[in-house]
Amino acid sequence: MLTMMGQQLIAQTEVKKPKEAFELFFGTFVSNDEITLRKLNDYLKPTVEGQDAYQVNFKETSQEVMNGSVENFLSAFPKATGSACRKEAEDYFSAMFDNFKKGKLTVKDVKVVPNEYVEGQKIAEISYSVSFLVPSKLTSGPKGDLNKIKAEDLKKYLIQAVQDFKNADKTVTTDQNFSLYELKEGDKIYYWNGSPDEIVTNLTDFYFESFGANE
């Protein structure tokens, strides 16, 4: 009886189920949702001495990614053409990234297993799928020598490609796995992962490969 009472006294409870915790990571790092980021940081605060576990400025980060993507894309064309088409290129990548952020998550299975490398710790193995809307056929880019492409031809292509993404009519789905590690604080159990960018990396590889695929 005393033993049972002792076990009850030290019984640890999950603050959130692994599925709920993972949904916060996904909403933060894939969907870039500010409210979800706040919820994730509130959830993990007891594990980081009341601090924010993840300090992310989505607007700043998105702008950096946008600038890098646009610069890299336009560098393939004559300088004057690139300068004339910068706004259209920004619209193109904005439409592309927006569809990625709207990816629909489905958690398919959660298994909590012992961590073979850390005694007494458990790992929540998350199996999930994500569905994206992509164009069934993406407009072909300008043909011929890229160094001779005229601004009006590149603009025409980019404007049509933006519409392709906005009117995306094909659903593509990928199955993925991710691990959350158990953190114990007093009688509470939390789940976290120090490399949430892994979720994004795996999904972007799939997403960008899916454009224009035929049925």
Name 190's bridge partners: 183
How high is the pLDDT of residue 212? 52
How high is the pLDDT of residue 7? 46
How high is the pLDDT of residue 76? 93
Average pLDDT over residues 56-65: 94
How high is the pLDDT of residue 96? 96
Predicted confidence (pLDDT) per residue in 155-195, tens digit: 999 999 999 999 999 999 999 999 999 999 989 999 999 99
What is the reported pTM?
0.89
Residue with the two structure tokens 């049925």:
215
Residue 120 binned pLDDT confidence (cut-offs 50, 70, 90): confident
**CA-to-CA distance for 122 and 13, rounded, in angstroms?**
13
Q: Is the pLDDT of residue 9 over 70?
A: no
- Domain extent listing, the chain: 12-209
Average pLDDT over residues 111-139: 94
